[in-house]
Structure 1
Amino acid sequence: MFVTGFPSAMFATNCFVLAPAPGEQCVVVDPGIDVVPQLDAVLAEHKLQPVAVLLTHGHLDHTFSVQPVCGARGIPAWIHPDDEELLHDPGKALSMSLDQLFGGRRTYTEPDDVKLLTDGGTLELAGLTFTVDHAPGHTRGSVMFRLPPDPDAGQWAVPEQVLLSGDVLFQGSIGRTDLPGGSYEQMLDSLARKILPLDDGTIVLPGHGGATTIGNERATNPYLAEAAPLAGPNRGM
């Protein structure tokens, strides 16, 4: 599996591109604000052809360029149904209007072809298999995407499971829960149910910041310690 990515100029949101190898079809994850020129350069450099856009959630810093990316190629955007409304009106998840955020300098357009994700479902796209984990807390429709290890794929093999965690899990932290649709209680539940059971070697590619592993976060991230289930009661002597 070939993986590359870069942060957007605004909010430093990570946009990822995944493919079986250079020169193949690919999937774009979270095309944020003003990423089109850099994304086009990455696609041209590695001779990649996008077949779909995957969205970890509906916040504008992850979705702003979804229509330019999808519309130019006639490809769909995938999002969880609980965040679908944010593709129509991203202001519902903001503490300010789009005019306040951009000063009228940028215009958002929703994608034409939207497909909906299901928790536990799998997507076969560009020769890759993505498992969808619904993990609300940052938004109601936040999801993560897992890709299985592929130790026998030759030069582009990734020997560990890969987790595109969006704004659920960061290196040393988690996504904020104070915006409309967020819930700290739901976030802790998602961490306990969706993150803690993963193998320590799982590679985490977050929505912001650098890559990490589940093992590193289990050992150092204070929010995972808080999310860890309490030990059961002692019985007998």
Structure 2
Amino acid sequence: MFVRSLVADAFGTNCYIVAPAEGEECLVVDPGIGVTERVRELLAEHRLRPAAVLLTHGHLDHVYSVTPVCGGTLGAYIHGDDRYRLEDPVATLPPPLREALEQQFGGRATWAEPERVVEVTDRQVLELAGLRVEVAHAPGHTEGSVLFSLPGLPHGIPAPDLDRTVLSGDVLFAGSIGRTDLPGGDPGAMTRSLRDVVLPLEDSTLVLPGHGPATTMARERVANPYLQGL
């Protein structure tokens, strides 16, 4: 697969561009704050045509640019339990985070809901942009957090022991997990998601998280303290 990542202007959120190859249709995953123009430049550079936007969950730092990226034609794919967040994700931010965001950018955050929203469900298989994407519902960080799993690896990764890629959003990070103390978070649900959704992933899985560097399930299984004892 062709995979490129961009880091958003706030909160260090990773936005991913995924396609079968250059010159093909592609998926844009989690377009966060301030990435719109860089997404357009990357698409033009590699002759990519966006087919859909995938959202691992509905927090503002993962969806802020979804509407300009989608335009009036592309679907924004999100789990049904987080669908409500696209009505106004700014309103769901705790006041301290909202104030920090407004201070960083010198003004109030604005929002327009995407015109076409597609709700996904657990274990659904999406056939988009020539790619096969499996959805796994993993609540805890938010009610509708999901993992997106694809067969194969990004081009150029010399890893014969890996054969699958998972976009983990804010469920799993390298050495950590997503916080559960924001509105809609649930520590118990996160524990169940880690036990029942994350731990069963094969060691041969490359993990591309919503924040921070890539990792592997083999590494996280032995080194991530939040997976120990589950």
Using the size of structure 1 for normalisation, the TM-score is 0.89
Query: Where do 1:76-95 residues align within 5 Å?
Result: 76-95=75-94
Alignment correspondent of 2:226? 223
Q: Find 2:196's aligned residue among 182, 193, 196.
A: 193
Preserved contact between residue 79 and residue 114 of structure 1 (Cα < 8 Å): yes
1:83/1:212 CA distance change after superposition, 3 Å: same
Q: Secondary structure at the match of 2:95?
A: coil
Cross-structure match for 2:20: 20
Q: Which residue of 2 aligns with 1:58?
A: 58
Residue 48 of structure 1 is matched in structure 2 by: 48
The residue identity in structure 2 corresponding to 1:71 is G
- Superimposed CA distance per residue, residues 161-199 of structure 1 (whole angstroms, 9 cap, x where no aligned partner): 100000000000000000000011110100001111111
The answer (yes or no) to whether the contact 2:25–2:129 under 8 Å persists in 1 is: yes
Contact 1:137-1:186 at 8 Å conserved across structures? yes
* 1:124 equivalenced with 2:127 (yes/no): yes
* Contact preservation (8 Å) 1:140, 1:181: yes
Aligned mates of 1:48, 1:69 — CA distance in 2: 13
Count of residues in correspondence between the two structures:
224
Gapped regions of structure 2 (runs ≥ 5)? none
Structure with greater Cα Rg: 1
Verify: 1:210 aligned to 2:213, yes or no: yes
Given the superposition, is the C-alpha separation of residues 46 and 181 from structure 1 closer, same or farther in structure 2, using an over 3 Å criterion?
same
Contact 2:168 2:207 in 1 (8 A): yes
Deviations 1:117-139 (A, max 9, x none): 01000000000000000000000
Structure 1, residues 35-79: CA drift from partner, whole Å, max 9, x if none?
A: 01111111111110000000000000000000000016x111000
Q: 1:108 to 1:198 in 2, by over 3 A?
A: same
SS at match of 1:90: coil
**What is the DSSP-based 3-state SS (H/G/I as helix, E as strand, rest coil) of the residue aligned with 1:178?**
coil
Contact 1:122 1:131 in 2 (8 A): yes
Question: Could you state the TM-score of these two structures normalised by the residue count of structure 2?
Answer: 0.91
Aligned to 1:37: 37
Q: Does 1:172 align with 2:171?
A: no
Inter-partner Cα distance in structure 1 for 2:124 and 2:199: 20
Secondary structure at 2:68's aligned position in 1?
helix
TM-superposed deviation, 1:6: 1.4
What RMSD in Å do the two structures reach over aligned CA positions?
Answer: 2.2
Aligned to 1:135: 138
Report the alpha carbon displacement of residue 107 of structure 1 after superposing the two structures with TM.
1.4
1:90-169 paired onto structure 2 within 5 Å? 90-96=89-95, 100=99, 101-102=101-102, 104-149=107-152, 160-169=163-172
What is the CA-CA distance between 1:106 and the residue it aligns to? 3.4
Report what 1:235 is aligned to.
Answer: none
The change in CA–CA distance for 1:150 and 1:97 in structure 2 (over 3 A counts) is closer
Q: Which moved more, 1:100-109 or 1:22-31?
A: 100-109
Of all paired residues, the percent bearing the same amino acid is: 55
1:42 is paired with a residue whose SS is helix
3-state SS of the aligned residue for 2:228? helix
User: 1:150 and 1:5 mapped to 2: Cα distance?
Assistant: 14
